[in-house]
A and B are shown apart, each in its own frame.
Chain A
Amino acid sequence: MGQKAICLLIIAALLLSIVPAVAPAGPQPASTSSSGSSGGGGGGSGSHLSLESFTNYLVSWQKENPAKYKYMIQLLSKGNVQAYKDPSLGLLFSKNKSVNRNEELDIKFEVQNPNPIDLRIPLFVDLEVMEPGGEGFKKVNQNSMVVQPFSYTEQGKINYLQSSWPEVTTLDQIDKMGLLKEKTGEIKFRAVYSDGSRKKYSTDWIFNPPYYGVLVLNLTNRPPEMRNISLIASNKTRYNDPIEYRATIDDADGDMINVTLHILDAKGEELNNKTQRTLPGIVSFKAGEYGLFSETDAGKNFTYYYSFDDGINSNRTEIQPGPNLRRGPKLYVDRLNVTPESSNCYWWQWYTFNIRAKNLNPESYDVIFTLLSKTENSDWRTIESKTVKVGPEPQMIYFNNTEPFAVADANATFSYRIKLSEYDQNGKDIEEAVGPKINAKVVPYAIYDPVMVANLAMLIFAIVAGSLLLERKLKRGSESQESSSGKAGGNNSRDGNSTGNDKAGNTSAMFKKRD
């Protein structure tokens, strides 16, 4: 501000020297002559222009010579217009100019400002884009980048600044702003700045790469591809079984892809379609989640295919077979029960499980019943499985005399379940219940049991026999005798009737004799 004030004062001083030469050409305010003796005039005559006279000049120029008046005002507000030079603006881009929608753009701009800091004006820099085949540029960034007079880096006589628009990241993001109607082709960028009263474009200057007045990028797109198409379902699939359509969708550009699964009937007519918008990777459609099939589809054969697009290119797969849904029974089950061998519920005892079942449809079907059990200490394990023809008449299915538990299950509460190969009236294929607590007793034998008697008898016999054999080998009972009777001779103490007298002849015996 101070510098500007000094500048204004200098200009005012210059004007004071100009005014006498100019004044005669213009209208002469009335007060000028009256005040001429008191400081008006100047120039070669040595008279001075007073502030009052200068003001009167301006007022009269405003009415009579607007062009001069505007020039003076501009001069007063900006200083020396002749000395101010426009800063140059260019785009900086050093990557491959062939880009896809998801590549990071990294477009920068550079402003070179030759003016000294006192003459610099804040600049508001924007990026503009012209879509392929477009006719005009449109502003890309929401917020202008402001280049302040003091932001420049000084390098010799050049003051420059490099920056970018943080909100401009990818072409996809620009597309989302609705600025790209055409999805491929040449896209042009230019930069523009405004100093508040004027606009300057990067196209106003000529640059060499990597600097550009107009940056032309070639927007390309690689179409998505699908592979590993599979249908995950059991061989004899029912309409309410887990059925999963799975495929891998690839897109070299990493675009978001719309994948649509089309379900066709036996005649090839489309029955249903479901779409997912996904990133490249595995795409999965679960029949249960999308409600693809219903009870009326039982017994029918279906085919399917996928269509997919990335918003630019679309494609579809061949028609794939499956699933072939089979018709099954409509089971009704109840009375799931367990009967232990005794009320003690020992782990080693037998348990009988039963369940009642019937088919709500008139025909008979083979249904597989699988018995499983678990305790707090163990996971589910299969005990027994049997196939039973289930018709409309209720029948009890028994799992007789099973031994479902191990010793680790002692003192644990057990659960049991019967898994059905068909779904029941509630749409479940597992019937589950909790049984009584298993007795804590671990050892299945009583002490008088021959097994226990044999255990203990063998143990005692093994210890005694082993000891006799070891002594026979070690001969400690006679070795000591020999070593101690080296002087006494003989092994007359073998019977163990030692009193100390048989150690005669050595001093230690004296100590022993104190007994």
Chain B
Amino acid sequence: MDRFLLFASVLAAITIISSNGHEGLVRSAVILAFILVGAVALHIYNQKRVHKKIESLEHCRVAKESFYKEITIAQGSNFCALAFAAWLMLFVAIAYLYFLVPIILPFSYMQIPDLASSPFGFFIFGLKIAIVAALVILALDKLPESHRELKLTELYSFYIISKRAKKLIALTIPALSISIVCSAYIGTIYPAHSPIAESLALILLALSAGTLVAPIYKDAVEGLR
């Protein structure tokens, strides 16, 4: 089995297993947050580790700008666009699953009744989340060259990603779309519940999140060897 797929599955499984019932959905949110924050930390750690090794091999100090210039790999515009879309959809799917109805926090989309009852309320809500996420990503993109590791737009250029992995990352878009639809369904029937829709939305969300951060975890684990 492909290691990439293995990591994606393991990460998703952790999230899914942690959820059991309505309270489990809250727990899954915490686990998912840990996985994403862990991915950020590991990504930074990975780059530092490689940077140190290069410096030890070169026996001299290597500027970060030069290091990043040398280490990055162009992954192709189509893939980058799809990855960017996948990340935006991940944030939207998270917002739809956890903030459409009051599960984690006492406030939610349903507590903005005018928006919730608006014919285009769901679109406006999702678009606002996507715009905020895009603005954060673009703001990070403005960081200096010495902090390229923090640019989400260049995340995958630090890793070797196989075609199969790229396909899987691209596949997260339809998966996240289905997750969003399931979450929207939960919103339309609120205050009623649909455990099946909740589970499906969570599984697809967890699998997609795991797939998107799998290269980081994979590289970190392999780096430990």
Contact = CB atoms under 8 A, between A and B. Distances in A.
A186 B24 CA distance: 95
Interface in A6-20: none
B9 interface: no
Interface in B119-154: 119-123, 126-127, 130, 134, 138, 141, 153-154
Contacts of A494: 74, 76-77
A22 B70 CA distance: 148
A426 interface: no
B160 A446 contact: no
Given A442-B113, A452-B184, A467-B81, A462 B130 contact: yes
B69 A496 contact: no
B1 to A, nearest CB: 16
Nearest to B122: A455
Interface stretch (B14-22, B31-39, B187-195, B201-209): B187-195
A443 B116 contact: yes
B187 A443 contact: yes
Interface string A450-493: 01101110111011101110111011111111111110000101
A348 interface: yes
A485 B75 CA distance: 12
A508 B123 contact: no
Q: Chain B contact residues (Cβ within 8 angstroms of A): what range?
A: 35 or more
A408 B113 contact: yes
A508 B160 contact: no
Contact of A512 (B126, B127, B160, B184): B160
B161 A498 contact: yes
Given A348-B117, A476-B157, A459 B127 contact: yes
Interface stretch (A55-63, A211-219, A499-507): A499-507
Nearest to A492: B74
B20 to A, nearest CB: 25
Nearest to A484: B72
A497 B163 contact: yes
B39 to A, nearest CB: 19
Nearest to A451: B119
A445 B118 CA distance: 10
Contacts of A478: 74, 76-77
Contact of B74 (A347, A444, A479): A479
Contacts of A406: 113, 117
Contacts of A491: 74
A480 to B, nearest CB: 4
A135 interface: no
Contact of B77 (A472, A484, A508, A515): A472
A258 to B, nearest CB: 58
B77 to A, nearest CB: 4
Given A443-B116, A463-B130, A467-B84, A477 B74 contact: yes
Point out which of B81, B153, B154 has the most chain A C-beta atoms below 10 A from its C-beta.
B81
A483 B130 CA distance: 29
Contacts, number: 194
Interface in B23-52: 50
A459 B92 contact: yes
Contacts of B58: 507
Contacts of B141: 474, 476
A511 interface: yes
A463 B119 CA distance: 19
A486 B157 CA distance: 15
Contacts of A408: 113-114
Contact of A515 (B73, B80, B160): B160
A152 to B, nearest CB: 78
Given A407-B114, A468-B81, A476-B154, A514 B76 contact: no
B84 to A, nearest CB: 4
A460 B54 contact: no
Nearest to A499: B160
Contact of A442 (B70, B116, B180): B116
Contacts of A442: 110, 113, 116-117, 190-191
Contacts of A514: 222
Contacts of B166: 496
B157 A470 contact: no
B85 to A, nearest CB: 3
A470 B84 contact: yes
B88 interface: yes
A248 to B, nearest CB: 47
A447 interface: yes
A199 interface: no
A496 B116 contact: no
A393 to B, nearest CB: 43
14 contacts: A440-B191, A451-B119, A455-B120, A456-B184, A463-B92, A467-B82, A467-B85, A471-B84, A476-B154, A480-B154, A484-B73, A496-B76, A499-B160, A511-B53
Given A468-B85, A480-B74, A494-B76, 20 more contacts: A407-B114, A440-B191, A441-B192, A446-B188, A456-B123, A456-B181, A459-B92, A459-B180, A463-B89, A466-B88, A470-B81, A476-B77, A477-B80, A478-B74, A480-B72, A485-B74, A496-B79, A502-B73, A507-B70, A515-B222
Interface of B: 50, 53-54, 57-58, 67-82, 84-85, 88-89, 92, 110, 113-114, 116-117, 119-123, 126-127, 130, 134, 138, 141, 153-154, 157, 160-163, 166, 173, 177, 180-181, 184-185, 187-192, 222
